[in-house]
Chain A
Amino acid sequence: MSQLAVEHLSIDFGGLRAIDKLSFEIAPGTIHSIIGPNGAGKTTLFNLITGIYTPSEGCILLDGEEVTGLPPHLLARRGMCRTFQNLQIFERMSAVENVMLGRHLHESKNLLGHLLRLPGVVEENRRSRAKSMELLELVGLGEQADAPAGALPYGALKRLEIARALAGQPKMLLLDEPAAGCNAVETQEIDAVIQTVAGQGVTVVLVEHDMHLVMNISNHILVLDYGRKLAEGTAEEVRQNPEVIAAYLGQQAEEAAAHA
């Protein structure tokens, strides 16, 4: 059974149909990439899947259950975590607190305990911090743990978002252009993190412009154009699809093929 299934999904913004009767499935434990030119609707699709937008038509199934229209925090409870293309950072909190917030669903809700700072809460804070530190180390931000997040450079914030999303212990991780604006070394680090995470059985849904990265690590690729499915399949299938080459990949695909 597919972990995520999208059926006839559409959304309209005024006169613009940003996603148009889109259907596809994502198998558990795979790296599933979504590519397409700017404005193709990739981010919009993420916003639909994570409950930030409500579709105009169609439905979304998670683990076989319909979740269309559920708010983001309830989808998070079902193991969905994501990062944002246009960073959404808690700038007034420290880097490590950003990651600790990612563990929200795994922390206690006992308000009275929080007010009185009961021993359990102290212990929980300590544990949360330790686990968040591990994730910061994983993305190479261990040194900056106590810096205010607002003071970190762009490339660091991109990785901070990944650490925060991982803190939720996702079953499905959606990454929206995680390597955009990052240099070659940072991109390689992000690549390694994605592979590590996928190796642990987490389903990764990746939107990325770096074709080298996409072609190398994806089990499955979906190509979007004007909100519609242009093609899908393995990296090899997509690379050789004439429509994809004509519409989008063109030069890039040939380059990637030459590299591979």
Chain B
Amino acid sequence: MPAWLMQPRTGGLLLLAAIMVLVYLAAPNNFYLDVAIQIGLNAIVVVGLNLLIGYAGQISLGHAGFFGLGAYASAVLPAHFGVPPLAAPVVGMLSVGLLAFLVARPILRLKGHYLAMATLGLGILVFMLLTNESQLTGGPDGMAVERLRIFGERISGKDWWYLITAAMLLLSVWLTLNLIDSPTGRALRALHDSQIAAQVAGVDVARFKVIAFVYSAMLASLAGSMSALYSGFVTPDKAGFIHSIELVIMVVLGGMGSTFGGILGAAVLTSLPQFLTVFAEYEHMILGAILMAVMIFLRRGILPSTLDLLARRRTG
């Protein structure tokens, strides 16, 4: 294979696109397409979150909050402020970006457990806000979302949303891979391994943490907005703690510091519960056992650990 095809940005993206086409052609019915769309939406969040957690080494247990804000931007802005549904995700992303920018500096001065607690608190704050502002958000029951129209055409079918999600995921991956292989990406990866050495080389560590935080928050918001427009309904639990944890598990499971690994993690964790329902009440136990097994045997995450094994088999 030519060298230029072995790069994540070329071969990796092409492979991802090919898998997307195959899944679309092979999906026996709409149920599978729906699962695939859910995977894609989570994957968009995970691609951004992996930049923050896996590459820059900064934990966040609150990113479902940004997802939720994006989702409610799609719901509330058209319903109460007359913003067209197509513009709502953009307004949502910009607002979430601004919010993330404002909280990032004080929060990201913290490290480890303290950072985890602070981001957790931020997520809970958003969840409470969405639950309690019931005149605007419909409270715990949620609210309906006006359907997206493009050139007068109502976008609601699974085929449409599969296409949109696939395109947005490819775009997010492309942008993120570009960033990782740039001076900004090197600064982010460097501060993960040695903050002091990065600073001494002139890296304004605070600035780059803010960049990763804002970028990942905006991708989460975008996915949230798309999710709301797709399902036609929003509830606060998509902004909740459990969803935040799920997103982090996807990153860790698939592979911290591996963009495609994170997507694999999103695919596994989103689809497993759907297919484990045949085990009825044992579903959660089996899911837990799988997670533990992966972390024990493939510690660096499914994709990086597997690639390592393959490489070692080939050379040794």
Contacts and interface: CB of A to CB of B under 8 A. Distances in A.
Interface of A: 50, 52, 71-73, 76-77, 81-82, 84, 88-93, 97, 100-102, 104-105, 107-109, 111, 113-117, 121, 124-125, 128, 164, 167-168
Contacts, number: 100
Q: Which A-B residue pairs are the 4 nearest by beta carbons? A: A114-B182, A76-B202, A88-B197, A105-B202
Interface in B158-201: 175, 178-179, 181-187, 189-190, 192-194, 196-201
Nearest to A118: B178
Interface centre among B179, B186, B193 (most CB of A within 10 A): B186
B257 interface: yes
Interface in B200-255: 200-205, 211
A191 B312 CA distance: 38
Contact of A168 (B187, B192, B202, B205): B202
A97 B137 CA distance: 48
Contact of B190 (A77, A93, A107, A168): A93
Interface string B54-83: 000000000000000000000000000000
A125 B202 contact: no
A92 B187 contact: no
Contacts of A100: 186
A170 B64 CA distance: 44
A114 B177 CA distance: 10
Contacts of B185: 114
A91 B193 contact: yes
Specify the main secondary structure of chain A where it touches its partner. helix
B195 to A, nearest CB: 9
A93 B205 contact: no
Contact of B205 (A50, A73, A88, A108): A73
Given A92-B193, A107-B183, A114-B185, A81 B203 contact: no
Given A105-B201, A117-B9, 10 more contacts: A50-B200, A82-B200, A92-B257, A93-B190, A97-B186, A101-B187, A111-B211, A114-B182, A114-B183, A115-B179
Given A115-B179, A116-B178, A125-B182, A84 B197 contact: yes
Contacts of A104: 183, 186-187, 198, 201-203
B196 A111 contact: no
Nearest to A90: B193
Contact of A89 (B179, B184, B197): B197
Contacts of A76: 199-202
A11 to B, nearest CB: 17
A100 B182 CA distance: 10
A240 B129 CA distance: 75
30 contacts: A50-B200, A52-B196, A73-B205, A76-B200, A77-B202, A82-B200, A89-B193, A89-B197, A90-B189, A90-B190, A90-B194, A92-B189, A93-B189, A97-B186, A97-B189, A100-B186, A101-B190, A104-B186, A104-B187, A104-B203, A105-B202, A109-B183, A111-B211, A114-B178, A121-B178, A121-B182, A124-B183, A167-B201, A168-B201, A168-B202
